[in-house]
Structure 1
Amino acid sequence: MWSRWVKFEEKVEEGGERWSKPHVSTLSLHSLFELRTCIQTGTVLLDLEGYSLPQIVGEQHKLLYEGMLSPDLREKISFVLLRKHRHQTKKPIHRSLADMGKASGGGARECPSFMKKIPRDAEASNVLVGEVDFLDKPFVAFVRLAQATTLGGLTEVPVPTRFLFILLGPTGKAKSYNQIGRAIATLMVDDLFSDVAYKARDREDLIAGIDEFLDEVIVLPPGEWDPKIRIEPPKKVTSADKRLDSRGGGLAEDEEMPVAHELGEELAHTGRFCGGLFLDIKRKIPWLLSDFYEGFHIQSISAVLFIYLGCITNAITFGGLLGDATDNYQGVMESFLGTALSGTVFCLFSGQPLIILSSTGPILIFEKLLFEFSKNNGIDYMELRLWIGIHSCLQCFLLVATDASYIIKYMTRFTEEGFSSLISFIFISDAIKKMVGHTHAYYVTAYKCECLAPDPSESILGLDWSQLSKKECVKYGGSLVGNTCKYVPDLALMSFILFFGTYSMTVSLKKFKFSRYFPTKLRKLISDFSIFMAIMTFVGLDRLIGLKTPKLIVPTEFKPTRPDRGWIVLPFGKNPWWVYLASFVPALLVTILIFMDQQISAVIVNRKENKLRKGCGYHLDLFWVGVLMAACSFLGLPWYVAATVISIAHIDSLKMESESSAPGEQPQFLGVREQRLTGILVFVLTGVSIFLAPVLQFIPMPVLYGVFLYMGVASLSGIQFWERIKLYMMPSKYQPDFPFLRHVPLRRVHLFTLVQIICLAVLWVLKSTVLAILFPVMILGLLVVRKMLDMVFSQHDLAWIDDILPGKDKKKEKKKKKGDKDDTKKKDKKKGRADDSEDEVINVRFYCHQLAGLEKNNSC
């Protein structure tokens, strides 16, 4: 039998030069029963002292006393087991590991790539099966060594051996022996059975472990599948803990209720003055040092480059729009400086430094309306804006002091996904609209060229001269007039190539880590730097073609956009005294906007799916946003709040995955590289961008719009709302196997999705009108809509397609407590053991209820 298992099975293909692709072991049910019989009737030697294969085989004299072998067969079996072992290798000329003797590290030098896939401190189980002509009945032995020992060339790689399974039998049953060997090998890589094998005290314990394994075996009916097909390893393997819960009488995996809606202790209402703020500070201080040194990783470089380009594009876009809306009181320079200042301070001192601050659409509309109001009423805009910022800052402090962030607990998936989907669609829409707008502005009117007839009063050949091409115009004797009449390539087409090319290449390279080509580290490196590589590729293409596509324009001088204003805004002297007090009212609207934008974005970033381990700080974040509101108001800079899409992109660029520790094992998501360094570097680079203008001016705007498009599309991934929207266009048999589809009728899922779509459409219409200033109030309105859904949908349905509101958790807790009491009573009945030693507790945990019917049972 030429096979090996690390977690999945690999076989030596015909010719012995290639190991097969890792695949899930498919065992016949008959082989498992035969294995059980082998363990039941064969020899089981546990904690055998042995330091070499000859010594271990020599210990087999113990079998003589069990009457299983005659003395004349002992030498023959020893001879077979001690023969030189030869291993299959990829190269026929490669020496077998047995020839290397017991030299330490020899196998490691020959098999470095395979050794990397073996977990640290791994131990081997050697399965030796075969047929011989001197036995009349099978000889079976299961041996567990007291200490793991390197047995020379017995193993393919220099991994110490802990278990031996030997099966030798008469000729004619090689296929059956092979299947039994595959069965024990598969059991030994099973997490739960391997624990049983390590802790077993006698034969009955091993048999109970096999019975437990059989309880979980799923049988595939013959004739309904091809046994020659090798099943691909799953992307995610069920954890041992879940399997244990299922054994304990809990719900099966497809019957488990979804995880309860819980945002963590960070949003607990302390009832003390600034209680939440002090807890946030206390929570973050222990991580302060690691927040910096954990940022020193090559992955951080790609994250900085990606987010930096997104931030400067956003700063230029909003800066230009602010300049138009405020008559250049705020412009691109103020946008760059404000982004750098606010972002750097926030990343240094905030509770969640992975959040990226930016200007938002509702703030832009508020600034426009405020400027028009000031202009029409003879009020100084900058001074009024300063007092609004001061009042808003104080209101944010009041919200922090009273733990007002507690309200976020009532924002379920319905509100979170509606908000994040809206922001994602805005990013996608804006990227396309800006692309189309630039196309019209730069490439249509600028290169308009018409053909005029030789004599306008005559119509030669009945031609429409204005529609003729340059070549046709010259052919018929016409004259060319316009801004330019030389031949100009199609810049619109080139811009769209840069736009969609950047997006497509980024998506393709991002998925490259799942490709089958090249080593894992190289694929991951390409995936991490996908955005940077795409940008550099199409910047190079643009330079190679040499067309005058619109480029990134960065300010080159450090001075306010408007010449008649300075960097400091004075609070007194230009407006009546009552303005200082009346500004409290518009500040209240700004505070609601800031609070909702900031906290919803923070909830999305701090989702449990992201596996953040350092905690978050909703109160601390809002405190610094308030401080920065006042600081930016004094400097005449834009106001900033958490940017949902860019923050999600920041999270995605810092995700960590496990390095595959077994052949065929899929990388598992481990969490996010939580640190402050990437955010700080992004905003510092944004601040010094005015000195990088000679380099940045080569980046075409269509390339950056492609990055914007990618951010918007990528942020939709993983949103259940978006997945449910796509279900409308799928026939039932082609719909993915989502858990909520197993438990909620499809028509109810569609109804819930329709309500979300209507809410999203209303928000979309509002954000495009003057009423966009009421956007934060409409977000609060989503909470009301969600509360009303409790009257339309059952709590069971809402638990699967949304979250249960906090007020509904009390009933669930009562049921849970009642269920826990029942489970405790059942466990107490089962655990009627004589003593409470550690070994017996472990045995009861794994297979106590299986041993109930066996004789000589001392553990239950």
Structure 2
Amino acid sequence: MADEFEDNAPIASKEDKDRENEINRNLIPDAGKVPLDPAQLWGKGLIADIKRTVGTHWIEEMTNFNQKTVAVSLLMFITVIAPTLTFGAVYGTSTNFQIGTVETILATAWTGTFFALTCGMPMCVLGSTGPCLIMTTVIYEITKTMDVPFLPFYAWVSIWTFAYTTITAFFDLTRFVKLATKFTDDIFALLIVSIFIFNAIGSPFGPGGLLRYLDPDNKSHLDFLKELGGEEYDYLTSAVLSILIGIATCATIFTFRGLKTSPFLCNQASRDSIHDFSVTLGVVVWTLIKHLVFPSVELEELNVPSSFEPTFTCCDSSCTTYWPDQCTDQSEPTGTRSWFANMMDLNGKSHAIFVAAGPALLSFVLFYLDNGITWHLIYSPRNGLKHGESYNWDLFLVGFCNCVNGLLGLPWLVATTVPCIVQVNNLTERDAYGNIISVQETRLCHLVSHFMVGLSLLFLNAMKLIPMPVLLGVFLFMGLASIGRIEFWQRFLLFFQQPSRYEKTAFVKYMSIGRYHLYTILQILFFAGVFIVQNTKAIAIVFPFMTLLCIPARLWFLPKIFENWELLLLDGEEEEVSEWVAAKEQHKEKNLEVDSDFKKAPSDLTMDITGHTSGFSFDL
């Protein structure tokens, strides 16, 4: 054990420790500091983004079609459609069905397709997120307080938000997002991944998840009881089968993916094919098993609308009340709401146009951070992407797309972290040790998957064949597959491992065990703060600001606790860490050479009885 941790051997005295810290501190100037890119004002950043990304790589990214493209497109369709339907249902209950499932499908389809064709960072996927849902709900509550119609006010908020994003992109203010480091990236990534895992298993903060089927009052059980009658429906049988199918779907996907490096099957091409289509195969296998082996057991289905039309059905021609909830004595609706919001229908309160600028500022912060941190996380150098960044251009596009969505009464979309991680991981080729060999940077997966979401509007009934537990199993796979690549999670697991068996990373080799554990504890505290705020409805609206606080904490608070070289090893990019390690090893080699020469010198001296040595003389 001593041999394994000789670099962490205790220093004899405080003076020696201070001297060692000074050496480490000076190996690389400004180690651990986060630089801010120079500003590219007056639209220069926008132009540079377009030239660097769309103008350089668009044709290549639109033509690199192969088997992996097909497989990942199918995976991303499954990844995107399930939360789209789920969020759509929640939007319906949160906005009195003025935004619903059809609107969410339409927004996801057109926005994702347009963004894939025009954006600078196509490896980032747009979709519905919890923070956007919370923000929309807050806006709906504001309109009730102000006594103005929701959709016109929502449209004005969207216009103001687009104005803010345009100004930000024009003056290159997105460069401040790049001050985020792995400290913030990992907290945000673990937060989103944990949401996927909790929602798949059974979140304590929501009604969904596999374990929730054990509750006899689960909504799906109550719906089946109404349809079939109490004597014909056994909720426990449905619950147990749901849990088994969900877990089996997740396990099957992992098994199929593991075949790539196994000796099974006839050749590597067949193993690669099963690996690439593992999620699609897992969904198909367990959907067929449910319908062929357990046809009489009722399982929850996807909440799919029956037709393509606005969700809000009107009681009368004014379309201010919702059928059938607000006119129970009426057998049929008179129609549906218009696809376009009537911008001036503000109940005579024209000042609401300017009031909308307030919540729009919060919406802008949400867009800025949700997109910016996800972009920073995905386009980090450690992911091996080479086609460049375009923060300004992509933020402008997100603002534009969501402005259109606001005018049509559709939900806002932003970059979704876990689907982005899943896409990048599945387009990456790695060696047996997990090192990146190559990444296929393409627009086709993003484009095809969102086009398929739009196409699903033609096959709404067919989508009901997929049991909800199967998709929860996919969610569980996505969360578990993503969490292992988050360094924050890897360091957290060190608390439960034998120190002599730690992986020999740079911080383990050169830092004392207490120092990097202290860094992990601080990261846990910040994660807990963001997690608690995000899951507390009364204060969930400030979730983006809690995430934003992680950036100044890393810039100004952590350097008061840790040495700059320690922050570099814990929080720096791989190239920076490798440069510091090389300088450290070079310094150690020089010291070893000096020590070796010093030890050899006395043996080269010969002394005779008169007190003379070769080359020197002195009196006894």
The bucket for the TM-score relative to the shorter chain is 0.7 to 0.9
Q: Deviations over 1:435-489 (max 9, x none)?
A: 233453267657889xxxxxxxxxxxxxxxxxxxxxxxxxxxxxxxx82167787
Gaps of 5+ in 2: 1-25, 203-207, 315-336, 591-620
- How big is each residue's C-alpha offset from its partner over 1:820-846, in whole Å with a ceiling of 9 and x where there is no partner? 9xx9xxxxxxxxxxxxxxxxxxxxxxx
Residues of 2 paired with 1:680 and 1:781: CA distance?
34
Structure 1 position 420, deviation (Å): 0.6
Match of 1:326 in 2: 95
Could you tell me how far apart the structure 2 residues matched to 1:381 and 1:695 are?
33
Aligned to 1:688: 455
Residue among 526, 543, 547 paired with 1:775: 543
| Deviations 1:647-689 (CA, angstroms, capped at 9, x unpaired) | 111111211357xxxxxx9796322211111111111110111
How far apart, CA to CA, are the structure 1 residues paired with 2:188 and 2:544?
10
Q: 1:745 Cα deviation (Å)?
A: 1.1
CA distance in 2, matches of 1:257, 1:702: 52
Give the TM-score taking structure 2 as reference length. 0.78
* CA gap 1:313/1:487 in 2 versus in 1, 3 angstroms: closer
Counterparts of 2:563 and 2:276 in 1: how far apart (Å)?
A: 43
- Taking the aligned partners of 1:503 and 1:257, their CA distance within structure 2 comes to 45
> Against the structure 1 CA distance between its residues 263 and 657, is the aligned structure 2 distance closer, same or farther, given a 3 Å change threshold?
farther
Match of 1:553 in 2: 303
Aligned partner of 1:858 in structure 2 is none
CA contact (8 A) 1:269 1:276 kept: no
Q: Which amino acid aligns with 1:571?
A: M
Q: Distance in 1 between matches of 2:563 and 2:403?
A: 46
Q: Offset of 1:731 from its aligned partner?
A: 2.0
Instruction: Give the residue type in structure 1 aligned to 2:212.
Output: G
Please state how far the C-alpha of 1:734 moved relative to its aligned partner. 2.6
Matched-pair contact (CA < 8 Å) for 1:328–1:562:
yes
Q: Match of 1:670, SS?
A: strand
Quick check: 573-582 or 765-774, which moved more? Answer: 573-582
CA distance in 2, matches of 1:386, 1:359: 18
What is the deviation of 1:738? 2.3
Query: Separation in 1 of the partners of 2:72 and 2:101?
Result: 24
**Structure 1 residue 718: deviation in Å?**
1.8
Match of 2:559 in 1: 790
- For the pair shown, the structure with the greater C-alpha radius of gyration is 1
CA offset digits 1:292-314 (Å, max 9, x no partner): 111x1011111111110111101
**1:799-833: per-residue Cα shift (whole Å, max 9, x none)?**
111139xxxx9xx99xx9xx99xx9xxxxxxxxxx
1:581 aligns to what?
354
Provide Cα deviations, 1:81-133, integer angstroms capped at 9, x if missing partner. Answer: xxxxxxxxxxxxxxxxxxxxxxxxxxxxxxxxxxxxxxxxxxxxxxxxxxxxx
| Partner residue, 2:417 | 644
Q: Give the AA of the match of 2:360.
A: A
Change (3 A) 1:794 1:572: same
Deviations 1:216-273 (A, max 9, x none): xxxxxxxxxxxxxxxxxxxxxxxxxxxxxxxxxxxxxxx9989977999xx8434431
Which residue identity lines up with residue 542 of structure 1 in the other structure? K
Which residue among 267, 286, 309 is the counterpart of 2:78?
309
| Structure-1 separation of matches of 2:110 and 2:262 | 41
- Give the letter for the 1:567 counterpart: W
Q: 1:485 to 1:380 in 2, by over 3 A?
A: closer
Change (3 A) 1:262 1:511: farther
Partners of 1:320 and 1:274 in 2: CA distance: 39
Alignment match, 2:259:
512
Task: Give the whole-Å Cα distance in 1 for the aligned partners of 2:30 and 2:263.
Answer: 35
What is the percent sequence identity of the aligned residues? 28
- Please list, as runs of the form range in 1=range in 2, the aligned pairs for 1:19-98 lying within 5 A after superposition: none
* Residue type of the alignment partner of 1:502: T
Q: Is the 8 A contact 1:510 1:528 kept in 2?
A: yes
Distance in 1 (CA, whole Å) between partners of 2:258 and 2:350 is: 60
Q: What residue number does 1:610 align with?
A: 383
Q: Secondary structure at the match of 2:438?
A: strand
Residues 354, 487 of structure 1: alpha-carbon distance in 2 compared, 3 angstrom cutoff: closer
Number of the residue aligned with 2:492: 725
Letter in structure 2 aligned against 1:717: G
1:365 partnered with 2:115:
no
**Kindly tell me: are residues 711 and 261 of structure 1, through their superposed partners in 2, closer, same or farther at Cα, counting changes over 3 Å?**
farther
SS in 2 for 1:686: helix
Corresponding residue number in structure 2 for 1:735? 502
Secondary structure at the aligned position of 1:728 is classed as: helix
Deviation at 1:696, TM superposition (A): 1.6
2:58 maps to amino acid = L
One-letter amino acid of the structure 2 residue matched with residue 568 of structure 1: F
Partner in structure 2 of residue 542 of structure 1: 290
Q: Which residue of 1 aligns with 2:106?
A: 337
SS in 1 for 2:429: strand
Q: What SS class does the counterpart of residue 577 from structure 1 fall into?
A: coil
Question: 1:633 Cα shift?
Answer: 0.6
Query: Are 1:509 and 1:530, in contact at CA under 8 Å, matched by a contact in 2?
Result: yes
- Give the conservation status (yes or no) of the 8 Å contact 1:393–1:629: yes
SS at match of 1:288: helix
> Which structure features the higher share of strand residues?
1
Deviation for aligned residue 1:515: 1.2
Unaligned stretches of 5+ residues in structure 1 = 1-254, 450-481, 659-664, 824-860
Name the aligned partner's letter for residue 783 of structure 1: I
Higher relative contact order (CA 8 A, sep 6+): 2
Give distance in 1, aligned partners of 2:387 and 2:483. Answer: 25
**Cα displacement (A) at 1:632:** 0.4
Q: Shift in Å at residue 774 of structure 1?
A: 0.7
- Deviation of 1:509 (Å): 1.6
CA distance in 1, matches of 2:223, 2:99: 29
**Distance (whole Å) between structure 1 residues aligned to residue 289 and residue 435 of structure 2:** 36
Matched, 1:521 2:269: yes
For the 8 Å contact 2:99–2:409, the answer to whether it is kept is yes
Q: Does 1:407 align with 2:147?
A: no
Q: CA deviation at 1:584?
A: 0.9
SS at match of 2:496: coil
Pick aligned residue for 1:656 from 429, 439, 442 = 429
| CA separation of 1:726 and 1:257: change in aligned 2, threshold 3 A | farther
State the Cα deviation string for residues 696-728 of structure 1 (Å, max 9, x = none). Answer: 221100000111111112221221100111011
Are 2:70 and 1:289 equivalent residues in the alignment? no
Amino acid at match of 1:559: E
Runs of 4 or more, structure 1, over 6 Å off, are 255-264, 446-449, 486-489
Match of 1:49 in 2: none
Other-structure match for 1:710: 477
Q: Is the 8 A contact 1:443 1:492 kept in 2?
A: no
Q: Letter of the aligned partner of 1:273 in structure 2?
A: W
Normalised by the length of structure 1, the TM-score is 0.57
AA of the residue aligned to 2:83:
N
For 1:543, give the aligned amino acid.
H
Q: 1:486 to 1:322 in 2, by over 3 A?
A: closer
One of 135, 150, 174 as aligned partner of 1:381: 150
Seen in structure 2, the aligned counterparts of structure 1 residues 399 and 561 have a Cα distance that, compared at 3 Å, is: same
Asked if 2 retains the 8 angstrom alpha-carbon contact of 1:447 and 1:484, the reply is no
Residues 443 and 319 of structure 1: is their aligned pair in 2 closer, same or farther, counting only changes over 3 Å?
Answer: closer
Check conservation: 1:383, 1:571, Cα contact below 8 A. yes
Q: Give the one of 503, 514, 519 matched to 1:747.
A: 514
Which residue of 2 is the match for residue 801 of structure 1? Answer: 570
Structure 1 residues 679 and 366, CA gap change in structure 2 (3 angstroms): same
Corresponding residue to 1:431 among 200, 217, 223: 200
Measure how far apart 1:389 and its partner are: 0.5
- For 1:777, the aligned partner's letter is F
Distance 1:424 1:737 in 2: 26
After TM superposition, give the deviation of residue 499 of structure 1 in Å.
0.5
Quote how far apart the aligned CAs of 1:548 are. Answer: 1.7
Give distance in 2, aligned partners of 1:550 and 1:336: 20
Residues 264-284 of structure 1, C-alpha deviations (whole Å, 9 max, x = no match): 9xx843443111110011112
Question: In the alignment, which residue of structure 1 is the partner of 2:162?
Answer: 393
1:559 shift after superposition:
0.6
Contact 1:339/1:683 (8 A) holds in 2 = yes
Q: Of 538, 559, 562, which aligns to 2:312?
A: 562
From the two aligned structures, give the one with the greater helix fraction: 2
CA distance in 2, matches of 1:488, 1:345: 43
Range with greater deviation from structure 2 (513-522 or 629-638): 513-522
Deviation at 1:737, TM superposition (A): 2.1
* 2:246 maps to 1:499: yes
Provide the alpha-carbon RMSD of the alignment: 2.9
Mapping 1:220-231, distance limit 5 Å: none
Other-structure match for 2:363: 590
Structure-2 separation of matches of 1:539 and 1:733? 45
